[in-house]
Amino acid sequence: MTKSTVKERRAHERHATHLSVQGTQGPPGDSGIVARMVARNLSAGGLYCTSSTDFPEMTRLAVRLMLPVDDRPGAETAALDLEAIVVRREEVVSATGAERYELALFFTNLEASARRRIERYLAE
């Protein structure tokens, strides 16, 4: 199959980004493992991030995404709390030997207001 004949399975266009993310194992309100992550790309359906904490595929996470409140450079950020499932993970070892994990997260139970906020950020 050539690249032009491969059908893209994603329903939402991905956008490169560099955002702070916090992930906690389990649904919102549960206390569990907390990880600091960095989002590398974002869409209205999920995000791709790097993490120093490993979460196996199909792990439910409460995700806190820090989005700028407007499009000005250096704008203040505000938290957007979401639910997600790890749909893909890959272990990566850096040149310094540090273990990192690349995680693909799919948003679940995404409310319309949260989707609109993500879409506004992506449109900027």
pLDDT tens-place string over residues 45-102: 999 999 989 999 999 999 999 888 776 667 788 899 999 999 999 999 888 888 899 9
Domains of the chain: 15-123 (2.40.10.220)
Q: What is the pLDDT of residue 27?
A: 60
Find, among 52, 58, 36, the residue nearest to 101 by Cα.
52
pLDDT for residue 62: 93
* pTM tops 0.75: yes
Give the residue among 60, 66, 104, 64 at the shortest CA–CA distance from 84. Answer: 60
